[in-house]
Amino acid sequence: MAKLSLFERRRQRVRTALKARAGGRPRLSVHRSGRHIYAQIIDDAQGRTIAAASSLKKGEKALGANVASATDVGKALAEAAKQAGITAVVFDRGGFLFHGRVKALADAAREGGLEF
C-alpha cells in the first residue's frame, strides 16, 4: 500500500467525518487549483452532481484564482442549488484549509441561501 500524502490523509479524514454527520444531505464539494476554484453539490446516494459552478465561466465578473472569483462561484452555486430545490448541504472542503478562497466561497454560498 502506497503512503498517502498529507493532503490525501487530511482529505480522507474530512470526508469520513462528513459521512458520519451528513444525515442524507447532499455534499458541497470544493476543489481549488492554482488558476481556478470549482464547487459542486453531489448527491452521494445516487452518485450524481445536482449543481455545479466554477471560475472557468467567462460570463462571471471575476475570473481566476482570487477571493473575488471564489465569492462569485459561491453565489452562482447557491443560485443553481435553489433552482434544483436544495437548501441544506454538508460542506466538504476536501484537503484544503478553511481560509482564503475556500472560506470566501462558503460565506457567499451561505449568503445565497444554502444552510450548512
Residue 94's nearest CA partner among 35, 8, 5, 24 is 8
Q: Which helix (H) or strand (E) holds 15?
A: helix 6-21
Q: Average pLDDT, stretch 63-89?
A: 94
- What cell was used for 26? 447532499
Q: Which residue has the higher pLDDT, 64 or 9?
A: 9
Are 104 and 69 contacting, i.e. CB atoms less than 8 angstroms apart? no
Question: CATH for 23-111, among 3.30.420.100, 3.40.50.720, 1.20.1640.10, 1.20.1090.10?
Answer: 3.30.420.100
- What cell was used for 38? 470549482
Q: What is the pTM of this model?
A: 0.90
d(CA 98, CA 111) in angstroms, rounded, equals 17
